[in-house]
């Protein structure tokens, strides 16, 4: 990396203070380095010059050589446009501008050869080209121009301020002239030869000014590989450092609690996947390094029992354990589920949430500090400064994407030495994303459901089938089952949602009249106590139908509920639909998920609904979701800046990503500190990247 690439952009000839401000605010370009990494979105082939009599209306961009013979303003007031007559030896057309008349008029020259470029329209019996790109022929021939014209990312503000694609091409050319097109090589000779990659100089030149399609492809591959390779290198080094530097408590004993539970109190036979994951966790806890593991498993795959058995290992080694969940409902559910199992072993377990009373809080704080309390379940309340453990050995975080990085690190600081960390999620993360975002965590996957669980049957029905759907609900209720009906989320601003929910509730009450049927309603505007009361009625079976917004998405466990109806299903994302479906199918009975929509559906909505009907596999669903939404959306806002990639796309370039990770692992296995002479370039680039880039600071 040339040091002069850190030069501020305003020093580049042709940029100046005003343009520099625009480039900074609109495209995040502060230095020469940032400019060189502004890669084109697409390319236009400008090898061919058309004659006016060859033009056709096909939406393609064309270039024509000709002269301007006349310029006039046409139209009234706001509809004024500037029209120039443009001719070559085959015919006449018009060039049209709707804004910037004064400036353009001064700039146009008569009877000089121009090269114009743009899309053509047909109007009033002749072709015209609105807002053409224009260049005098002699300039055009002088320029560092390639057959393929790059089209750079832009914004409305840039276009309005006259920073066109042409402008960016020109300043890019200037940058190559100033640096003489010489850039420091960033990959080792071994990698270049083994993967037959072109040099950094050749790649950068051909990404901005491609000489041919073939060279453009080579340049793209080389730069994508490099970008993904350094991200993987960073993640794997981080993992290695973690394992060598951050000492964990070695849990050498698997003793009384774990063994007694396993032999006498296990409520069901563990699946092979659960056994495999417990073994991986035992190995981590027994080593000298701090465990930093992500446990993925679909809704209902039995993550909680794995978490509990991991906590028993901590207890067997005289340490405490905690489990943190994002919502009170989920915390209460974990607590209720684990309380009986702990009770059988005389283990003290408590729950701490925002609504825990002050007196009870004090007792919890005290028994935590003196070590009497062995397991604490709770929400963000666990992060409060008053919560001090005597010796926290294992912290489990459920649905971790709902907690920020800063919140998680607070748990670490509860101890002199950081506890082992197990992060759980029921939102399957596609392999591609997992490798990129959580590449520094070890990953365990529970990929089979407990035996006896039946697949949930999913169907898509249109609103005009509602009566049949209601008849089906009556049938299920007559068999003693319960039903969820979910509406899109209520937010204060969305009056529509509230109206839909309340209208829906009213029509359900009409079609399912009291006293024969009882209906509960739960939504975000209700007080916590009212919500709990309604939830409890449903859990106890006092109401057969629960009308709700997505507040039930995480953590309601009613084995008797066998039908999930999702209204306006096209308004939900795939992962949300999958999470909601996971709320049924928790008992032994056949369960159903019915997706209700209107007839008007976008292409993406159809794909989502078809995917839901076709498969129950969370990982397959997550892959489709990633293709539809892209990585930024899937990670949510907290982490969407995570993969601020310049050229690679982790979905489309998945193969390159796998390749990059393979080579990063291979090199680090042989040379963990990158100190061998052949890796000198890699070490230098890695240090430079860490210094000038902040892309590494995001990872858990």
pLDDT at 637: 36
Question: Is the pLDDT at 525 greater than 90, yes or no?
Answer: no
E-only strand ranges, 259-339: 292-297, 320-324
Question: Is the pLDDT at 144 greater than 90, yes or no?
Answer: no
**What does the pLDDT average to over 78-106?**
91
DSSP code of 262?
I
Band (125; pLDDT cuts 50, 70, 90): confident
Q: Distance (Å, rounded) from C-alpha 660 to C-alpha 503?
A: 53
Please state at what angle helix 603-614 crosses helix 574-581, rounded to 10 degrees.
30
pLDDT: is 431 or 270 the higher one?
Answer: 270
Buried b (16+ CB within 10 A) or exposed e, 427-451: bbbbbbbbbbbbbbbbbbbbbbbbe
Question: Is the pLDDT at 639 greater than 50, yes or no?
Answer: no
Do 521 and 548 touch, CB atoms closer than 8 A? Answer: yes
Percent of the chain scoring above 90 in pLDDT: 49
Band (263; pLDDT cuts 50, 70, 90): very high
Percent of the chain scoring above 70 in pLDDT: 89
- Residue 602 Cα to chain centre, angstroms: 22
Dihedral angle at the C-alpha atoms of 72, 75, 80, 83, nearest 10 degrees? -30
CB within 8 Å of 392: residues ≥ 6 apart: 319, 320, 321, 322, 411, 414, 415, 419
Question: Is the pLDDT at 417 greater than 50, yes or no?
Answer: yes
Do 553 and 599 touch, CB atoms closer than 8 A? Answer: no
pLDDT, tens only, 157-183: 888 888 999 899 999 999 999 998 889
Average pLDDT, the chain: 86
Q: Are strands 519-522 and 457-462 parallel, antiparallel or unpaired?
A: unpaired
pLDDT, tens only, 205-224: 999 998 877 888 899 999 99
Q: Which sequence spans correspond to the domains of the chain?
A: 47-144, 256-446, 457-615
Residue reference for tokens 């309601």: 556
Judged by phi (left if over 0) then psi (alpha if -120 to 50, else beta), residue 193 lies in: alpha
Residue 498: phi, psi to the nearest 5? -65, -45
Q: Distance (Å, rounded) from C-alpha 387 to C-alpha 366?
A: 9
Can you read off the two tokens belonging to residue 448? 């089979």
Q: Alpha helix (H) ranges present in 479-617?
A: 495-511, 528-539, 574-581, 603-614
What is the CATH number that goes with domain 47-144? 2.40.50.140
Do 248 and 314 touch, CB atoms closer than 8 A? Answer: no
Q: What is the DSSP string of 328-355?
A: HHHHHHHHHHHHHHHHTTT--EEEE-TT
Most confident of 111-115, 298-302, 650-654: 111-115
**What does the pLDDT average to over 599-615?**
93
Band (408; pLDDT cuts 50, 70, 90): low
The enclosing H or E element of 136 equals: strand 133-136
Question: Is the pLDDT at 112 greater than 60, yes or no?
Answer: yes
Query: Biggest alpha carbon distance in the chain?
Result: 97
pLDDT, tens only, 37-81: 999 988 886 777 899 998 877 666 789 999 999 999 988 877 889
Do 320 and 391 touch, CB atoms closer than 8 A? Answer: yes
Buried b (16+ CB within 10 A) or exposed e, 472-506: bbeebbeeebbbbbbbbbbeeeeeebbebbeebbe
Q: Are strands 320-324 and 442-446 parallel, antiparallel or unpaired?
A: unpaired
Do 86 and 116 touch, CB atoms closer than 8 A? Answer: yes
Question: Is the pLDDT at 273 greater than 60, yes or no?
Answer: yes
pLDDT: is 409 or 18 the higher one?
Answer: 18
Query: Rg of the chain over CA atoms, in angstroms?
Result: 32
The enclosing H or E element of 545 equals: strand 545-548
pLDDT at 306: 95
pLDDT at 229: 95
Question: Is the pLDDT at 440 greater than 90, yes or no?
Answer: no
When mean pLDDT is compared across 118-127, 347-356, 679-688, the lowest value belongs to 118-127
Can you read off the two tokens belonging to residue 373? 């309390």
pLDDT: is 684 or 48 the higher one?
Answer: 684
**Side-chain half-sphere exposure of 522, counting CA atoms within 13 A:** 26
| Total residue length of the chain | 700
pLDDT, tens only, 22-36: 999 999 999 999 999
Question: Is the pLDDT at 431 greater than 60, yes or no?
Answer: yes
Judged by DSSP in three states, 97 sits in strand
Dihedral angle at the C-alpha atoms of 458, 464, 465, 468, nearest 10 degrees? 140
Band (694; pLDDT cuts 50, 70, 90): very low
When mean pLDDT is compared across 26-35, 89-98, 352-361, 450-459, the lowest value belongs to 450-459
**What does the pLDDT average to over 571-600?**
88
- Per CATH, 256-446 and 457-615 having the same topology is answered yes
pLDDT: is 607 or 628 the higher one?
Answer: 607
pLDDT at 172: 95
Do 647 and 150 touch, CB atoms closer than 8 A? Answer: no
Q: Distance (Å, rounded) from C-alpha 514 to C-alpha 543?
A: 11
Can you read off the two tokens belonging to residue 629? 């939404």
Judged by DSSP in three states, 584 sits in coil
Q: Distance (Å, rounded) from C-alpha 518 to C-alpha 544?
A: 6
Q: Distance (Å, rounded) from C-alpha 685 to C-alpha 251?
A: 39
Q: Distance (Å, rounded) from C-alpha 61 to C-alpha 45?
A: 9
pLDDT at 643: 59
Inter-CA distances, 601 with 568, 570, 604, 627, Å: 10, 7, 8, 18
**What does the pLDDT average to over 134-157?**
82
Q: What is the DSSP string of 641-676?
A: TTT--SS--TTTTHHHHHHHHHHHHHHHHH-TT--S
Fold of 457-615: Rossmann fold (3.40.50)
Q: CATH homologous superfamily for 256-446? A: P-loop containing nucleotide triphosphate hydrolases (3.40.50.300)
């Amino acid at each position: 990396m040339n040091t002069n690439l850190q030069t501020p952009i305003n020093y580049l000839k042709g940029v100046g203070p005003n343009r520099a401000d625009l480039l900074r605010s609109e495209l995040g370009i502060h230095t020469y380095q940032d400019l060189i990494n502004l890669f084109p979105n697409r390319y236009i082939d400008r090898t061919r010059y058309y004659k006016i009599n060859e033009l056709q209306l096909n939406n393609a961009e064309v270039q024509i050589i000709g002269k301007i013979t006349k310029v006039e303003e046409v139209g009234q007031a706001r509809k004024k446009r500037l029209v120039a007559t443009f001719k070559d030896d085959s015919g006449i057309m018009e060039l049209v501008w709707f804004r910037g008349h004064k400036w353009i008029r001064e700039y146009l020259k008569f009877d000089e050869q121009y090269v114009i470029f743009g899309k053509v329209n047909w109007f009033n019996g002749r072709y015209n080209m609105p807002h053409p790109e224009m260049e005098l022929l002699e300039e055009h021939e002088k320029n560092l121009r390639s057959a393929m014209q790059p089209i750079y990312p832009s914004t409305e503000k840039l276009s309005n301020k006259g920073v066109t694609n042409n402008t960016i091409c020109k300043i890019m050319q200037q940058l190559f002239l100033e640096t003489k097109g010489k850039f420091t090589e960033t990959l080792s000779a071994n990698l270049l030869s083994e993967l037959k990659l072109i040099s950094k100089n050749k790649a950068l030149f051909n990404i901005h000014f491609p000489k041919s399609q073939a060279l453009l492809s080579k340049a793209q591959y080389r730069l994508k590989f490099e970008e993904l390779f350094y991200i993987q290198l960073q993640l794997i080094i981080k993992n290695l450092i973690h394992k060598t530097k951050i000492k964990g408590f070695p849990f050498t004993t698997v003793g009384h609690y774990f063994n007694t539970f396993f032999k006498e109190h296990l409520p069901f036979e563990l699946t092979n996947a659960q056994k495999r994951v417990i073994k991986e966790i035992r190995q981590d806890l027994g080593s000298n390094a701090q465990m930093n593991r992500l446990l993925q498993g679909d809704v209902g795959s039995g993550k909680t029992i794995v978490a509990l058995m991991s906590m028993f290992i901590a207890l067997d080694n005289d340490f405490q354990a905690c489990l943190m969940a994002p919502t009170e409902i989920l915390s209460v559910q974990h607590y209720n589920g684990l309380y009986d199992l702990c009770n059988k072993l005389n283990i003290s377990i408590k729950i701490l949430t925002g609504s825990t009373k002050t007196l009870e809080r004090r007792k919890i704080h005290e028994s935590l500090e003196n070590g009497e309390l062995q397991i604490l379940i709770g929400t963000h309340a666990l992060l409060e400064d008053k919560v001090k453990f005597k010796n926290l050995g294992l912290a489990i975080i459920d649905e971790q994407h709902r907690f920020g990085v800063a919140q998680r690190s607070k748990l670490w600081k509860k101890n002199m030495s950081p506890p082992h960390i197990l992060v759980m999620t029921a939102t399957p993360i596609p392999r591609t994303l997992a490798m990129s975002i959580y590449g520094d965590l070890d990953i365990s996957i529970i990929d089979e459901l407990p035996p006896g669980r039946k697949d949930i049957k999913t169907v898509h029905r249109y609103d005009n089938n509602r009566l049949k759907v209601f008849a089906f609900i009556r049938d299920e209720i007559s068999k003693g089952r319960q039903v969820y009906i979910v509406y899109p989320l209520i937010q204060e601003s969305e009056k529509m949602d509230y109206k839909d929910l309340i209208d829906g509730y009213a029509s359900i009450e009409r079609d399912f009249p009291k006293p024969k049927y009882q209906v509960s309603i739960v939504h975000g505007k209700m007080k916590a106590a009212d919500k709990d009361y309604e939830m409890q009625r449903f859990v106890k079976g006092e109401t057969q139908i629960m009308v709700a917004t997505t507040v039930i998405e995480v953590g309601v466990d009613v084995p008797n509920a066998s039908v999930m109806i999702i209204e306006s299903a096209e308004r939900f994302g795939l992962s949300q639909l999958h999470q909601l479906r996971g709320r049924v199918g928790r008992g032994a009975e056949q369960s159903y998920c019915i997706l209700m929509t209107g007839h008007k559906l976008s292409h993406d909505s159809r794909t989502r609904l078809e995917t839901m009907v076709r498969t129950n596999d969370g990982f397959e669903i997550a892959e489709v979701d990633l293709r539809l939404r892209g990585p930024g959306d899937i990670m949510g806002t907290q982490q969407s800046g995570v993969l601020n990639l310049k050229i690679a796309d982790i979905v489309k370039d998945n193969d390159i990503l796998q390749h990059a990770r393979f080579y990063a692992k291979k090199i680090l296995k042989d040379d963990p500190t990158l100190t061998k002479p052949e890796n000198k370039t890699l070490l230098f680039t890695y240090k430079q990247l860490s210094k000038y880039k902040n892309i590494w600071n995001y990872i858990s």
